[in-house]
């Protein structure tokens, strides 16, 4: 029985397909302005095994041929992420907090605290004794301390996103970087370049600033011993090592593929539902007009 999880994030979208709870394939793409097209495209990316601009596949995938799979082949589809309510072919949508909590436990059994830094939001989640969400915090007012902040600065410095983390670790002096507004990030980075500063030192300051901000956020839910980082930030070695420093050397457990944690959680919820209620009827591909 195949189930699908789709995570339509603010910056990137992910799709995971499971066969009886085992990972069959996944894909990631950039979120476009049209959610319906994005949802269709990310399914395409999964069946054709395309990982998009975020780099190579990190998870081993079975050799099974998957490029013939269709949405109708899925026993159940669950959507999550900020665009979750507008995915027309999803049978159900579940919030990203719940999906991240579920997906993180699949990757990191026994995880107690999760820091998820995505494109435009940052969440801290504490996992309860039965795997439920015991507490969570999130940035809801502004994009300071999110992936977008890093993207803006990377863009201003003309450094490809996957390279900023490794480059930041080459720094010899971290320049002070404001943690307040992501939009000031561009100006601040350009100003430092104009003063003749090196890119690695600017990036080191940026990573420090964001690490400070996100650790402060996750501390609000309380950090217990098994701590995992999910979302695009988990692919950034510069961020992970600095967050570990800020937490006094606490070892972070990284999911092998941190970006797909939410989509994987959604696919697991889809499996639960399909097992309980049997396979769902395929839903219409027409766009959902009303979003509540």
* By CB under 8 A, residue 148 contacts other proteins: yes
Which is closer to other proteins, CB of 68 or CB of 141? 141
Cα distances from 202 to residues 50, 114, 164, 232, in angstroms, run: 32, 28, 10, 20
User: Half-sphere exposure (CA, 13 Å, Cβ side) for 150?
Assistant: 33
Measured CA to CA, the distance from residue 36 to residue 43 in angstroms comes to 11
Using CB under 8 A, pick the residue from 195, 249, 281, 286 that binds other proteins: 195
- Segment contacting other proteins by CB under 8 A, of 93-101, 190-198, 207-215, 253-261: 190-198
Question: φ and ψ at 172, to 5 degrees?
Answer: -105, -20
Member of 142, 160, 220, 277 binding other proteins (CB under 8 A): 142
Which residue in the set 129, 196, 248, 249 belongs to the binding site for other proteins (CB under 8 A)? 196
Q: Supply the minimum distance, in Å, between the C-beta of residue 148 and other proteins.
A: 5
Segment contacting other proteins by CB under 8 A, of 20-28, 54-62, 138-146, 253-261: 138-146
Segment contacting other proteins by CB under 8 A, of 129-137, 139-147, 168-176, 209-217:
139-147
Q: Is 17 in the site for other proteins (CB under 8 A)?
A: no
Q: Please pick, from the candidates 29, 182, 240, 247, the single residue that binds other proteins as defined by CB under 8 A.
A: 182
- Among positions 146, 171, 230, 236, the unique one binding other proteins when judged by CB under 8 A: 146
| Residue (61 or 191) nearer to other proteins, CB | 191
Among the listed residues 68, 194, 276, 286, the single contact to other proteins using CB under 8 A: 194
Residue 88: burial class (beta carbons within 10 Å; 0-12, 13-18, 19+): middle
Can residue 161 be called a binding residue for other proteins (CB under 8 A)?
Answer: no
What is the rounded CA–CA span in Å between residue 192 and residue 186? 10
Cα(204)–Cα(192) distance, integer angstroms? 12
Give how far Cα 288 sits from Cα of 85, 92, 202, 277, 284, Å: 8, 13, 44, 23, 9
Q: Which of 133, 184, 244, 282 binds other proteins (CB under 8 A)?
A: 184
33 binds other proteins (CB under 8 A): yes
Tokens of 24: 């069959």
> What order of strands is seen across the sheet that includes strand 122-127?
133-138, 122-127, 113-117, 227-230, 252-253
291 counts as binding other proteins under rule CB under 8 A: no
Residue 167 host element (H or E): helix 161-168
CA dist 289 to 2, 35, 86, 284, Å? 28, 12, 8, 12
Token digits of residue 121: 């939001």
Binding segment for other proteins among 66-74, 92-100, 137-145, 158-166 (CB under 8 A)?
137-145
Query: Under the criterion CB under 8 A, does residue 143 sit at the interface with other proteins?
Result: yes
Residue among 92 and 186 whose Cβ is closer to other proteins: 186
- 110 Rama sector, left if φ>0, alpha if ψ -120 to 50, beta otherwise: left
Can you tell me which of 21, 109, 187, 222 binds other proteins, judged by CB under 8 A? Answer: 187
The DSSP call for residue 81 is: S
Q: Which residues bind other proteins (CB under 8 A)?
A: 10, 33-34, 120, 141-143, 146, 148-149, 152, 180-184, 186-187, 190-191, 194-196
């Amino acid at each position: 029985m195949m189930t699908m999880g789709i995570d339509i994030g603010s910056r990137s979208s992910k799709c995971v397909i499971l066969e009886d709870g085992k990972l069959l394939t996944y894909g990631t793409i950039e979120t476009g302005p049209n959610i319906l097209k994005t949802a269709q495209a990310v399914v395409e990316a999964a069946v054709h095994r395309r990982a998009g601009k975020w780099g190579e596949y990190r998870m081993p995938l079975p050799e099974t041929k998957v490029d013939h799979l269709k949405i109708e082949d899925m026993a159940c589809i669950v959507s999550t992420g900020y665009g979750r309510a507008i995915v027309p072919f999803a049978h159900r949508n579940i919030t990203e907090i719940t999906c991240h909590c579920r997906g993180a436990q699949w990757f990191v059994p026994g995880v107690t605290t999760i820091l998820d830094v995505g494109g435009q939001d940052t969440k801290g989640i504490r996992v309860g004794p039965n795997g439920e969400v015991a507490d969570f915090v999130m940035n809801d007012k502004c994009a300071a301390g999110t992936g977008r902040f890093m993207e803006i600065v990377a863009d201003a410095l003309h450094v490809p996103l996957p390279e900023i983390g490794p480059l930041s670790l080459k720094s010899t002096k971290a320049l002070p970087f404001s943690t307040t507004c992501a939009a000031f990030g561009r100006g601040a980075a350009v100003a430092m370049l104009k003063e003749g500063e090196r890119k690695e030192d600017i990036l080191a300051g940026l990573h420090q600033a964001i690490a400070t901000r996100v650790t402060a956020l996750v501390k609000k839910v309380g950090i217990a011993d098994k701590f995992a980082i999910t979302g695009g930030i988990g692919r950034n070695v510069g961020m992970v090592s600095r967050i570990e420093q800020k937490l006094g050397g606490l070892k972070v457990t990284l999911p092998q593929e941190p970006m797909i944690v939410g989509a994987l959680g959604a696919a697991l919820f889809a499996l639960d539902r399909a097992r309980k209620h049997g396979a769902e009827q395929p839903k219409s591909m027409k766009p959902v007009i009303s979003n509540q």
